[in-house]
Amino acid sequence: MTSHVLAMLNRPSLDTPAHDPDAPTFHFADSAEPQLSVLDLGATRGDGIFESISVGFGRPQALEHHLTRFARSAAMLDLPAPDLDAWREVILAVVAELPPADEVYLKAIMTRGVEGTNIPTGWVYAAHSPDHSAVRKQGVRVVLLDRGYRHDVERTAPWLLTGAKTLSYAVNRAVAREAARREADDVVFVSSDGILLEGATSTLIFRRGDTLITPGTGLGILDGTTQANVFRFAHAQGLTTAFELAGPEALVSADAAWLVSSVRLAAPITAVDGHPLSVDHDFTAELNDYLRNLTD
């Protein structure tokens, strides 16, 4: 039984020609066979965007939020606007094609295409998720790393593309290696002027009393789809939520904290730069159960 499915889009954007004018919206393809040109700008320049989406009970979670963010990233990179109706169709078809599993994830990827053609390349890949149960229970040790930008970089230097979900992930991988060198599992970025930002591939949330807090808007960080669902869960539990500009001391003194993302879900933070942090195991388990069982 297959544990992964790949579909290639024929016309990722209505603003550009189709790869084949006579072909349907998409076709399923063999992920073990070559599909991408060596001249594709996604491969040669990291010039493209993506979304990672968790699937619950056969339904992509927060699909419309992901598609909105996908389109926003494309606009920030001056890519052709994704045909969201086509992308939605392909995502749902790929999910339907994949045999059921306890947890599934998919990636929607669009590149600028082969250099000089002005035709983007697009595909959706879905697979059974690896087992993240251990990190959800045991948590992660994080280190604080300087991102090298002021917290207002989104406004002062929009050409740096902070807040876009791009394929340029060399820095994200580099910080993971740096965390390992510091005997940690993950990182939390801090702006050069001392403001908490986000994880390398996740959103930061921490709790102070009965309030769940995430870094404020306009900081050049991703609009977290999982963070939005965490806040919905918090409201159902009678907690309040807030966006806040905060420094590292707010995280170190928090009652609990998490890194949240679409596939790993909520990983409790157990230490910050070697300083132990309290973990609310019961709340974390309830939160992850909620996130795993979302159907929209």
Report the alpha-carbon distance of residue 151 to residue 173 in Å, rounded: 22
Q: How confident is the model at residue 1 (pLDDT cuts 50, 70, 90)?
A: low
Mean pLDDT across the stretch 190-199? 97
The tens digit of pLDDT for each residue in 45-90 reads: 999 999 999 998 889 999 999 999 999 999 999 999 999 999 999 9
CATH of the domain at 183: 3.20.10.10
153 and 94 assigned to the same domain: no
| pLDDT over threshold 90, residue 205 | yes
CATH of the domain at 97: 3.30.470.10
Domain end position, chosen among 73, 95, 128: 128
pLDDT given for residue 120 in this prediction? 98
| pLDDT over threshold 90, residue 102 | no
137 and 93 assigned to the same domain: no
Mean pLDDT across the stretch 98-122? 95
The tens digit of pLDDT for each residue in 223-274 reads: 999 999 999 999 999 999 999 999 999 999 999 999 999 999 999 999 999 9
**Angle, CA 57 vertex, CA 56 and CA 62 arms, to 5°:** 35
Mean pLDDT across the stretch 31-56? 95
Domain end position, chosen among 128, 153, 180: 128
Report the alpha-carbon distance of residue 66 to residue 203 in Å, rounded: 14
Q: How confident is the model at residue 295 (pLDDT cuts 50, 70, 90)?
A: confident
| Total of domains in the chain | 2
| pLDDT over threshold 90, residue 186 | yes
Domain end position, chosen among 73, 93, 128: 128
pTM of the model: 0.93
Query: What average pLDDT is seen over the chain?
Result: 95
In sequence order, what DSSP letters do the residues of 207-263 get, joined into one string? EETTEEEEEPSSSS----HHHHHHHHHHHHTT-EEEEE---HHHHHT-SEEEEEETT
138 and 121 assigned to the same domain: no
| pLDDT over threshold 70, residue 41 | yes
The tens digit of pLDDT for each residue in 131-180 reads: 999 999 999 999 999 999 999 999 999 999 999 999 999 999 999 999 99
41 and 154 assigned to the same domain: no
Domain housing 183: 133-292
Could you tell me the CA-to-CA distances from 261 to 110, 135, 210, 264, 266 in Å, in that order?
A: 20, 12, 22, 6, 7
Strands 211-215 and 59-60: unpaired
267 and 170 assigned to the same domain: yes
Residue closest to 189 by CA, chosen among 224, 225, 223, 220? 220
pLDDT given for residue 100 in this prediction? 86
29 and 119 assigned to the same domain: yes
Find out whether 114 and 42 touch, Cβ atoms under 8 Å: no
183 and 80 assigned to the same domain: no
How far apart are the two ends of the chain, measured CA to CA in Å?
26
| pLDDT over threshold 80, residue 118 | yes
| pLDDT over threshold 80, residue 127 | yes
221 and 267 assigned to the same domain: yes
Q: Which residues pair with 214 in a beta bridge?
A: 243
Rg (CA), the chain: 19
98 and 111 assigned to the same domain: yes
203 and 66 assigned to the same domain: no
191 and 279 assigned to the same domain: yes
140 and 95 assigned to the same domain: no
